[in-house]
């Protein structure tokens, strides 16, 4: 499969997850909304890394590579790396912390 096809599919998934996050949020399902929002961001980050021919096996690797190869090299705002990390932590809380 070509890089452009993989990137396109990752972005399609990112948009689907974002739509799901909005739908869940509007329905009052906030924890699930956060989870879908994180995965939207995750798939968008994977799409960008795919364009750079960079792959990682784990979520932590995606975050690390995104910070190293997208934020630092391209002078993209650090906000985006921080937001992705924050969303990952909030997703974990929502999925596993019964008191979150």
What's the chain's length in residues?
100
List the alpha helices (DSSP H) in 1-100: 3-26, 30-51, 59-66, 72-74, 78-96
Give the count of domains, the chain. 1
Distance (Å, whole) CA 8 – CA 10 = 5
Domain range holding 59?
3-96
Residue segments in the chain with a per-residue pLDDT below the cut of 50: none
pLDDT tens per residue across span 51-72: 889 888 898 888 888 888 787 7
DSSP 30-53: HHHHHHHHHHHHHHHHHHHHHHTT
CATH number at residue 11: 1.20.120.330
The whole-number pLDDT of residue 78 equals 81
Whole-structure pTM value: 0.88
């Amino acid at each position: 499969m070509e890089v452009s096809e993989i990137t396109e599919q990752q972005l399609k998934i990112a948009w689907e997850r974002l739509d799901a996050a909005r739908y869940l949020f509007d329905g009052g399902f906030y924890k699930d909304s956060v989870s879908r929002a994180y995965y939207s961001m995750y798939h968008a980050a994977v799409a960008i890394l795919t364009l750079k021919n960079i792959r990682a096996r784990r979520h932590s690797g995606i975050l690390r590579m995104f910070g190293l190869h997208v934020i630092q090299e391209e002078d993209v705002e650090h906000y985006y790396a921080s937001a992705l990390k924050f969303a990952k932590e909030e997703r974990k809380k929502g999925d596993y912390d019964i008191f979150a």
